Structure 1
């Protein structure tokens, strides 16, 4: 059984995770200038935070670990959203 924290704490962790993903996406875009294949970038941006978050969620024994897993899962959509917005603005 996954120990769930209070709903407001879980929602806050996911909101902060999405904001952290946005900031990480902008920072990575400014710092990395190498040409990388788009499929590899999408796999890293979506796959790594989601895998880490799901492992934390599945194996959590404490409520704060569940909140941390929700935070990690929520990083992926924020970061991916920045990448999509950059492709829309600069053209694909």
Structure 2
């Protein structure tokens, strides 16, 4: 059984995770200047945090580990959102 913390802890972890994902996406865009294939970027940005977050949630034995797993899991949508927005703006 997955130990679930209070709902506001999970919501806070998700909100902070998306914000960290936004900042990571902006920082990665500023640092990486080499051309990278889009499928590789999507794979890294979505698959790595999602896999680590899901493993943390599924294998957690304590509530704080579940909260941290939700945080890591929610980094991916924020990071991907920034990359999609930057791509959309640069094509226009």
Query: The TM-score by the shorter chain falls in which range?
Result: over 0.9
| Aligned CA-pair RMSD | 0.9
Structure 1 residue runs of 5 or longer lacking an equivalent are none
Q: TM-score, normalised by structure 1?
A: 0.98
Q: Which secondary structure state, in structure 2, belongs to the residue aligned with residue 2 of structure 1?
A: coil
Partner of 2:36: 36
CA distance in structure 2 between the partners assigned to 1:84 and 1:51 by the alignment: 21
The runs of 4+ residues in structure 1 deviating greater than 3 Å are none
Matched residues, number: 92
Query: Equivalences for 1:14-29 in 2 at 5 Å?
Result: 14-29=14-29
* TM superposition score normalised by structure 2: 0.98
**Residue equivalent to 2:4:** 4
The runs of 5 or more residues in structure 2 that have no matched partner are: none
